[in-house]
Structure 1
């Protein structure tokens, strides 16, 4: 089988491997789509934490089951599935409390171990979810949206709250969508006017704010002087993450969805005077995946316009560099395997 390996920063190579054999409790799957995530882009450029080379990237996956044994979900060969790419230990304190998404020895496909940028792979059978009723394209973006759904659940958003989402990339868009579904009044903050207009149409965001102007004043006006009770930063940018405190209401919550490969710092008086909560959101759980799958089935998420670029597997290496450029208008790229 063919696989695309990121040998080192800025270099992919197509290689041949044997088709793997499924072990006890595993399934052999045929990959059909791979969504390109910010994690993949950062890894390619050498900016991804917890990463070593060489590595087969890819954790936003749509697949068909080739072989599977008896399993609790009743999945069988030929079924269309998405994959929870977070492989947990099942025994640590986080796993014992149901927080498998932040396992102490977490191993993520495409990051800590080889992912799905290949024709076949084996995965734990209990990390597969049925994608019946979804297209391969839709199935490939379930994981991306699950990150946003989990962040909204971490934020404990209630109907009527103002939620500011910083960053209008794929993760930020997912956060906006599921904040809207939770009943929030959503404000989108970014520096790209074209992307902000897409947020207003797609999420749909109730307000859009360009960070190049006077965002504090505009956000204050949008919220009647109160500022948002929840702010979710999905930028993965240290400067943005440090500045996010200024938008949080007194008594509010700040949720860091993005991950940055550096330290972040902020004013302790600004933090304390608000008695605010700072929360991290990592990965997602089965509950989040199930919520996303059901939302797509119900037509609550526009998946068609979300995927803007695609390439066949054999042409991915040549197309990849263009997906790094904002001027190409990429929201979500997928690889057809």
Structure 2
């Protein structure tokens, strides 16, 4: 099979390698689409703590079952499937609570298991038993199904933030994640959505969010816009969907009872910040993180896409072949468009 092999930071080679066997109790999937995530770009350039070389990246993928060794016949060759990236142990307290994204022994496709930037991917039995393999409903394309994972991560973040009907929501960042957050927040009943962005090309596509207000950070003050849009009350929820943010000043934009979700990790040099604990105390504010998604959230996200409740098709702005993976990574890293997808 053909695969994009990452052998060291910045060194990826597309070459022919042996097709892996179908694992006992698992599946062999022929990849049809794999989206490029900014995490892939970071791992390509810098590596990652859970990454061992050589490795095939790609955790947002879908395909067709080529071989099945599942004992119950739940999956058969020819089935169209989308795969959740995380592979929980199934035994730890987090997994037993359904929070498999917090499993201390988690495996992740494209991190410590070979992922979707290859013509075939092996799906271990643990992934099958943990609910990580999802049938793609008719009418949903492989490209759309591959975007279930980022949508599922947004589901996780918004469940952590507790978005409910009537909320005013501020989203920092109008990239693919920010746009998905906006659409999902609307589906959850958010009354007003504000989305802030600095990049000119993403300000142009920010209309896809369907927000009441797009904040141009080059010429507008987020604090002033929030004050204007909320009548001085503040916003109920802030979703951080970018890697640059002044957390201390963002807290001051929250209304009493407000919640902030740190959906995106921050650069190490800006991750340590001082916060006003009394502001958190007296306003009853909450700050939460969000990392990845559970198998159940992944399944729910695919259902939202398949039902037409969340349209992801317009987020795909570049389609490439596996031989063009380098170009796709650079395109994503430059933040020129929204989502780039490798098609097989």
How does the TM-score come out when normalised to structure 1?
Answer: 0.91
Find the aligned partners of 2:285 and 2:234 in 1 and give their Cα distance. Answer: 13
Report the 3-state secondary structure (helix = DSSP H, G, I; strand = E; otherwise coil) of the residue aligned with 1:154: helix
- Residue matched to 1:311: 320
- Residue matched to 2:79: 79
| Correspondent of 1:233 among 232, 240, 259 | 240
Find the aligned partners of 1:261 and 1:26 in 2 and give their Cα distance. Answer: 37
Find the aligned partners of 1:303 and 1:68 in 2 and give their Cα distance. Answer: 29
1:235-250 → structure 2 map (5 Å cutoff): 235-237=242-244, 239-241=245-247, 243-250=249-256
- Residue matched to 2:137: 132
Root mean square deviation, CA, Å: 2.1
Find the aligned partners of 2:108 and 2:243 in 1 and give their Cα distance. Answer: 18
Query: Are residues 1:214 and 2:186 paired?
Result: no
1:150-229 → structure 2 map (5 Å cutoff): 150-184=156-190, 185-200=192-207, 202-212=208-218, 213-229=220-236
1:318-333 → structure 2 map (5 Å cutoff): 318-326=327-335, 329-333=336-340
Query: Are residues 1:267 and 2:275 paired?
Result: yes
8 Å CA contact retained: 1:241, 1:256: no
Query: Are residues 1:300 and 2:309 paired?
Result: yes
Gaps of 5+ in 1: none
Q: Larger relative contact order (C-alpha < 8 A, sep ≥ 6)? A: 2
8 Å CA contact retained: 2:145, 2:305: no
Deviates more, 1:255-264 or 1:150-159: 255-264
Report the 3-state secondary structure (helix = DSSP H, G, I; strand = E; otherwise coil) of the residue aligned with 1:57: coil
* Number of equivalenced pairs: 333
Find the aligned partners of 1:170 and 1:71 in 2 and give their Cα distance. Answer: 38
8 Å CA contact retained: 2:86, 2:295: no
Query: Per-residue deviation at 1:186?
Result: 1.4
Deviates more, 1:301-310 or 1:176-185: 301-310
8 Å CA contact retained: 2:318, 2:339: yes
Find the aligned partners of 1:283 and 1:242 in 2 and give their Cα distance. Answer: 25
- Residue matched to 1:4: 4
Report the 3-state secondary structure (helix = DSSP H, G, I; strand = E; otherwise coil) of the residue aligned with 1:316: helix
CA 1:168–1:51 in 2, change beyond 3 Å: closer, same or farther? farther
Find the aligned partners of 1:242 and 1:2 in 2 and give their Cα distance. Answer: 48
Find the aligned partners of 2:163 and 2:329 in 1 and give their Cα distance. Answer: 36
Report the 3-state secondary structure (helix = DSSP H, G, I; strand = E; otherwise coil) of the residue aligned with 1:110: coil
Find the aligned partners of 2:183 and 2:102 in 1 and give their Cα distance. Answer: 23
Find the aligned partners of 2:143 and 2:204 in 1 and give their Cα distance. Answer: 24
Find the aligned partners of 1:114 and 1:24 in 2 and give their Cα distance. Answer: 17
Find the aligned partners of 1:9 and 1:286 in 2 and give their Cα distance. Answer: 29
Can you list the C-alpha shifts for 1:228-262, whole angstroms capped at 9, x where unaligned? 1111111133x445543232222211111112352
How does the TM-score come out when normalised to structure 2?
Answer: 0.90
